[in-house]
Structure 1
């Protein structure tokens, strides 16, 4: 891959434990409301669905607001009236997510191999900041939806990132766990892509071409050859 020396990453779910963090936050929330045995799956599904709807609907709004409105919607599905403490707990929990176990060593190997490393994330600057130290190194750039005022799969977020990095799409490799948010953009812009399938999902051929891997470590080994 001559001439390609920048790796970009989705952040939540790819580098850090997003799904685990969301589940923990919902578990704490329903316990706070005295319903510890409640089935979380419908609430979490509603939370993600409403989040996608709000991100895709103009005008752009901060991710913190998207999280709060999505939580309110999800709790309503569960018959729970949201309290201020629920939003505070969600934001606090999601602003300090630990990395997946394979990530620090994989990033270090790419850095040692001469690659620049950057995150492109559907979030706010302050929300992502608390999870960055766990990666074990400083990324060369952290590009957020707040900076571009656009959420994936809007191409403007990636175009802003490439402008910040001073590269073309073809001079990057992108590693991400989301097909509709990230693989869709990679297909549209012609970016070499690795889909991180941590959750045993089914590959959707409409977003090909991408290389399916189990984790970031496997993608790192492939890139380094």
Structure 2
């Protein structure tokens, strides 16, 4: 197998995850007759509960994580969750557009001879609807559902490398999360690119990695 492989985190790195979550919560609070409700506490609770559920055995499908995280967030704000709310969340996060820089960057890497794969904390059916927006078909899409493990559990990456037929050191990993992805790069000795789209602060405990502003900048560096 050709060892020149770039793996990508999916949500936030390739597609517009944070924008999608914001849009879902805006639609949900409108449904509840609260269009002026502050979204930040809801989203903070949603993400926090999602992390807790992913990190707490036993493994559960990401669809269930989303449902229970949404329930937790709405309960904290005094809003009763309905199946319609769940549908808004699941549908919205199943059809996320790519970041504008992504299709051309992926095409350039493919033209440069690199295999391209996604490693994502999701279910197969949830990621499927967002894949067409990338502009090309990835060589592999590895999910937490397949490995029955969520990042930063090393089992997800080990499963991905087995599927791809490569050693960890033969890959480059590009991702927008330090604690979920750069932590794994450090543990496995991967060459990591941290995509800092949201002007976050470098956490030195996860170094070494290369900070870039988007996937396009990472692609230029990889092809150099």
TM-score (normalised: structure 1)? 0.98
Give the Cα–Cα distance (whole angstroms) in 2 for the partners of residues 46 and 34 of structure 1.
20
Which residue of structure 1 lines up, in the alignment, with residue 119 of structure 2?
A: 120
Cα distance, 1:4 vs structure 2: 4.9
Cα distance, 1:78 vs structure 2: 1.2
Tell me the secondary structure at the aligned position of residue 47 of structure 2.
Answer: helix
Paired positions, count: 223
Give the Cα–Cα distance (whole angstroms) in 2 for the partners of residues 37 and 4 of structure 1.
51
Residue 4 of structure 1 contacts residue 170 of structure 1 at CA under 8 Å; is this kept in 2? no
Q: Deviations over 1:7-46 (max 9, x none)?
A: 0000000000000000000000000000000000000000
Give the Cα–Cα distance (whole angstroms) in 1 for the partners of residues 118 and 3 of structure 2.
16
Task: After TM superposition, list the pairs within 5 Å mapping 1:72-91 onto structure 2.
Answer: 72-91=71-90
Residue 4 of structure 1 contacts residue 173 of structure 1 at CA under 8 Å; is this kept in 2? no
1:133 matches 2:126: no
Q: CA RMSD in A?
A: 0.7
Cα distance, 1:77 vs structure 2: 1.2
Which residue of structure 2 lines up, in the alignment, with residue 100 of structure 1?
A: 99
Cα distance, 1:223 vs structure 2: 0.3
Tell me the secondary structure at the aligned position of residue 174 of structure 1.
Answer: strand
Residue 119 of structure 2 contacts residue 141 of structure 2 at CA under 8 Å; is this kept in 1? yes
Any runs of at least 4 consecutive aligned residues in structure 1 with deviations exceeding 4 A, and if so which? none
Gaps of 5+ in 1: none
Which residue of structure 2 lines up, in the alignment, with residue 211 of structure 1?
A: 210
Gaps of 5+ in 2: none
Give the Cα–Cα distance (whole angstroms) in 2 for the partners of residues 108 and 79 of structure 1.
46
Q: Deviations over 1:189-223 (max 9, x none)?
A: 00000000000000000000000000000000000
TM-score (normalised: structure 2)? 0.99
Which residue of structure 1 lines up, in the alignment, with residue 186 of structure 2?
A: 187
Give the Cα–Cα distance (whole angstroms) in 2 for the partners of residues 89 and 47 of structure 1.
14
Which residue of structure 2 lines up, in the alignment, with residue 166 of structure 1?
A: 165
